[in-house]
Structure 1
Amino acid sequence: MIIHPLITQTEDLAALCERLAKSDFVSVDTEFMRENTYWPELCLVQIANTEEAAAIDPMAEGLDLSPLLDLLTDNEEVLKVFHAGGQDVEIIFNATGRTPHPIFDTQIAMMAISQSEQIGYSNLVESWLGLTIDKGARFTDWSRRPLTERQIEYAIGDVTHLSKIFPKILKRLIKTGRGAWLNQEMEKLADPDNYRNDPTQAWKRIKAAGRNPTMLGRLKAIAEWREHEAQGKNIPRGRIARDETLADLANHPPKQQSDLAKVRGLSQGWKDNEIGKRLMATIAKAQPLPDDEMPPRAPRGAPLGKEGALVADLLKLLVKIRAREIDVAARLLTRSDELELLAAGVRKNLPILQGWRYEVFGKDALDLVEGKLAFAVENGRLKMTHVDDEVPQEAATETGEMATAEDEGGQATG
């Protein structure tokens, strides 16, 4: 494989992308920093096919990334392969307003051919290629220039290894016939809605007790305010105020700005500075959350009930058994909240009752809920056995006679 020197010139990048555009797939990775900024700072992009690989320096003066971004977001003929690519896709979306497509994520794919829930890249390389990755450059400051040869070699290795692993995973998926299982998961990863930063929706990420519309309206207003403050200063939102501080402000709003000095998580300076004034103005203007924005009630507690909770536990055990039987990650089959909905009697709009998930797991999950499936131990291992819908008449009669005899204190005999 040809490893190119670090690309810092637009013409070199354009020539590389023109060649890569003829490939069936490219493997992609990024290095970025986001500890001190609101928006992740892109520091390096690595890309490879089966024949060549390169690292691209987006911080190089005068470098136009358009050829690369067009290849990743506009070229539908080339599959873009990532590993745990959510943050990489986010960076590309922030730069273009588009996401890479079509897309393939090897971490997600591993869930369909093994019980690995979130296999790390190092473990992926070791299991498929038998190589141990040097982790020395993993936590480096990628924004510093110049980059060392060791840093560049480490970074390019991420995509050269991936370009060798992807065909092997694809071959295994084809052999198992599970490729179609992943289509929905990959489309989710490429959905632009996952990466749109809407400040009006920021409140949904904050844990706050209660369902009071007035409190939630305040939480929505101050969470949106924090997003705008952080964006304007390009600093992490937590540097403005932490989530728990916002929840406290929403539940116990200060009456005047001087009270901000008493709020845990805010400094004394808030009692008379400009940002404190803006916060108080936001709280004063907050409106109760409309009915159509109220969060749905969680399917827990009373609606599920004690018996339902036990059924949900049995369903979770069933998931583990089925995942082990077919060598697939349980997380790919279903989630705990979905099992609780099923146990509570919900049957509509559940993914496990649709498509391949129904055939592989949902059908048995329904049978368990309806008493048609039972647990058994065979050779020291848990397994599931189907229970006959109806007990044969002779067996039922005999069972009834035995029970009657025992009730009367007699000795039951066969």
Structure 2
Amino acid sequence: MHVHPLITDSAALANLCFRLADAPFVCVDTEFMRESTFYPQLCLIQIADMNEAAAIDPMAPGLDMQPLLDLLTDNEDVLKVFHAGGQDIEIVYNMTGKTPHPLFDTQVAAMALGQGEQIGYSNLVDSWLGIQIDKGARFTDWARRPLDARQIEYAIGDVTHLAVIFPKMLERLKKTGRGGWLDQEMERLADPDHYANDPEVAWKRVRIASRKPEVLGRLKALAKWRELEAQSKDLPRGRIVKDETLGDMAGHPPKRQAELAKVRGLSATWAQNDIGGRLMAAIEGAKPLGEDELPPRDDRKPGLGKEGALVADLLKLLLKIRARDIDVASKLLARSEELEALAAGVRDGLPMLQGWRYDQFGRDAVDLVEGRLAFAVKDGKLKMTRAEVGE
């Protein structure tokens, strides 16, 4: 595979993208920094097909990134391959308002091939290629310039190895008939709504014990205010106000701006400055959370009593057994909230009762709930047995 020198000029990038536009797939990775900013600071993009690989410096003065962005978001003929690509995809979304499509995530694919729910990149490379990656450059400050040859070589390795692994993984998926299992997961990863920072729902990220509508209403207003402040200043949320302080103010709101000087976690200057005024305006404008927005109780899901909780536990045991038997990550078959819904009597709208998931797990899950399937110990091993349901 031909590896190009670091690309820093527009003509070289345009030529690379022109060639890659004819590739069946490209592997993509990014290096970024986000410790001191709200939006990830893109520092390097690596891209490769089966023939060539390059690292691109988006911080190079005057570099026109449009050909690369067009390749990633508008060229439907080229499959974009990532490993654990959520943050890479978020960066592209922030730059374009669109996501790479079509896409393939090797970490998600590994779930269908019995390699666990979140296999790391170095373990993936080791398991497929028998190569141990040098992790020495992992903690590089990618925003510093110049980057040395070792750093660039390390970064490009993330896509050159992936370009070898992906066809092997695709072949294994075809042989096992599991390629179709991943379609829904890949489309979810490519959904632009997955990456939008909507200030209206920012409150859901903040853990708080109270379920009182007025407290949660204030939390919603405060979290929205913080999100807008963080975005406008390009600072991490926690640099504006920490979650703990938001929760405290939602539960015990200051009545006047002067009281902000006494709030733990806030600067005393907020008692008089503009940002303190905007915080108070958020509190004063808050409305109680509507019944339709209230989160479910943690101690008891809707319709799930004590007996239902026991049934849900049995379903989780069945899921563990089935995932082990067919060598697939349990998360790909079903999620805990689905099992609890099934135990509570829900049958409509559950992914585990549709398509391949129904064939591999959902049918047996329903049979267990309805008494047609039972657990038994045979020769010291836990097995499933069919039970005859009497009249």
TM-score range, shorter chain: over 0.9
1:72 partner amino acid = L
Question: Paired residue for 2:289?
Answer: 289
Question: Paired residue for 2:169?
Answer: 169
Match of 2:239, SS? helix
Question: Paired residue for 1:23?
Answer: 23
Partner Cα separation in structure 1 for residue 210 and residue 368 of structure 2: 34
Match of 1:32, SS? strand
**Superimposed CA distance per residue, residues 171-224 of structure 1 (whole angstroms, 9 cap, x where no aligned partner):** 010011111110010000000001111112211222223333322221111111
Q: CA shift at 1:390, angstroms?
A: 4.0
TM-score by length of 2: 0.96
Identify if the C-alpha distance between structure 1 residues 342 and 169 changes in structure 2 by more than 3 Å, giving closer, same or farther.
same
1:100 partner amino acid = P
Whether contact under 8 Å (1:299, 1:341) holds in the other structure is no
**Superimposed CA distance per residue, residues 209-249 of structure 1 (whole angstroms, 9 cap, x where no aligned partner):** 33333222211111111111111211101101111211211
**Superimposed CA distance per residue, residues 23-60 of structure 1 (whole angstroms, 9 cap, x where no aligned partner):** 10000000000000011000000000010000000000
1:323 partner amino acid = A
Partner Cα separation in structure 1 for residue 255 and residue 370 of structure 2: 55
Partner Cα separation in structure 1 for residue 242 and residue 149 of structure 2: 39
Whether contact under 8 Å (1:115, 1:323) holds in the other structure is no
Partner Cα separation in structure 1 for residue 257 and residue 160 of structure 2: 56
Whether contact under 8 Å (1:115, 1:330) holds in the other structure is no
Q: CA shift at 1:95, angstroms?
A: 0.4
Q: CA shift at 1:385, angstroms?
A: 1.3
Identify if the C-alpha distance between structure 1 residues 74 and 302 changes in structure 2 by more than 3 Å, giving closer, same or farther.
closer
Partner Cα separation in structure 2 for residue 266 and residue 90 of structure 1: 30
Match of 2:14, SS? helix
1:268-347 paired onto structure 2 within 5 Å:
268-295=268-295, 300=300, 303-347=303-347
Q: CA shift at 1:289, angstroms?
A: 2.8
Partner Cα separation in structure 1 for residue 380 and residue 271 of structure 2: 66
Identify if the C-alpha distance between structure 1 residues 328 and 57 changes in structure 2 by more than 3 Å, giving closer, same or farther.
same
Identify if the C-alpha distance between structure 1 residues 346 and 224 changes in structure 2 by more than 3 Å, giving closer, same or farther.
same
1:29 partner amino acid = D
Identical pairs, percent? 70
1:173-212 paired onto structure 2 within 5 Å:
173-212=173-212
Match of 1:53, SS? strand
Question: Paired residue for 2:35?
Answer: 35
1:340 partner amino acid = E
**Superimposed CA distance per residue, residues 76-106 of structure 1 (whole angstroms, 9 cap, x where no aligned partner):** 0000000000000000000011100000000
2:156 partner amino acid = I
Identify if the C-alpha distance between structure 1 residues 302 and 66 changes in structure 2 by more than 3 Å, giving closer, same or farther.
closer
Identify if the C-alpha distance between structure 1 residues 341 and 23 changes in structure 2 by more than 3 Å, giving closer, same or farther.
same
* 353-362 or 41-50, larger mean C-alpha shift: 353-362
Question: Paired residue for 1:245?
Answer: 245
Q: CA shift at 1:291, angstroms?
A: 4.2
Q: CA shift at 1:383, angstroms?
A: 1.7
Partner Cα separation in structure 2 for residue 105 and residue 164 of structure 1: 14
1:322 partner amino acid = R
Identify if the C-alpha distance between structure 1 residues 84 and 301 changes in structure 2 by more than 3 Å, giving closer, same or farther.
closer
* 206-215 or 96-105, larger mean C-alpha shift: 206-215
* 253-262 or 357-366, larger mean C-alpha shift: 253-262
Whether contact under 8 Å (1:30, 1:42) holds in the other structure is yes
Q: CA shift at 1:297, angstroms?
A: 5.5
Q: CA shift at 1:118, angstroms?
A: 0.4
Partner Cα separation in structure 2 for residue 256 and residue 234 of structure 1: 28
Question: Paired residue for 2:234?
Answer: 234
- Tell me, yes or no, if structure 1 residue 76 matches structure 2 residue 57: no
Match of 1:47, SS? strand
Whether contact under 8 Å (1:38, 1:231) holds in the other structure is yes
Partner Cα separation in structure 1 for residue 129 and residue 166 of structure 2: 11
Whether contact under 8 Å (2:301, 2:340) holds in the other structure is no
* 174-183 or 200-209, larger mean C-alpha shift: 200-209
Q: CA shift at 1:303, angstroms?
A: 3.1
- Alignment RMSD (CA, Å): 1.6
Whether contact under 8 Å (2:296, 2:302) holds in the other structure is no
Partner Cα separation in structure 2 for residue 14 and residue 383 of structure 1: 59
Identify if the C-alpha distance between structure 1 residues 323 and 373 changes in structure 2 by more than 3 Å, giving closer, same or farther.
same
Match of 1:124, SS? helix
Question: Paired residue for 1:125?
Answer: 125
Match of 2:29, SS? strand
1:361 partner amino acid = F
* 307-316 or 20-29, larger mean C-alpha shift: 307-316
Could you tell me which runs of 5 or more consecutive residues in structure 1 were left unpaired when the two chains were aligned.
Answer: 392-414
Whether contact under 8 Å (1:300, 1:340) holds in the other structure is no
Whether contact under 8 Å (2:46, 2:53) holds in the other structure is yes
Q: CA shift at 1:258, angstroms?
A: 2.5
1:21 partner amino acid = A
1:360-379 paired onto structure 2 within 5 Å:
360-379=360-379
Question: Paired residue for 1:359?
Answer: 359
Match of 1:226, SS? helix
Question: Paired residue for 2:381?
Answer: 381
Match of 1:43, SS? strand
- Tell me, yes or no, if structure 1 residue 10 matches structure 2 residue 10: yes
Match of 1:173, SS? helix
TM-score by length of 1: 0.91
Partner Cα separation in structure 1 for residue 320 and residue 215 of structure 2: 40
Match of 2:53, SS? strand
Q: CA shift at 1:115, angstroms?
A: 4.6
Q: CA shift at 1:376, angstroms?
A: 2.0
Partner Cα separation in structure 2 for residue 36 and residue 103 of structure 1: 29
Question: Paired residue for 1:90?
Answer: 90
- Tell me, yes or no, if structure 1 residue 99 matches structure 2 residue 104: no
* 377-386 or 99-108, larger mean C-alpha shift: 377-386
1:110-121 paired onto structure 2 within 5 Å:
110-121=110-121
Question: Paired residue for 1:407?
Answer: none
* Matched positions, count: 391
Question: Paired residue for 1:405?
Answer: none
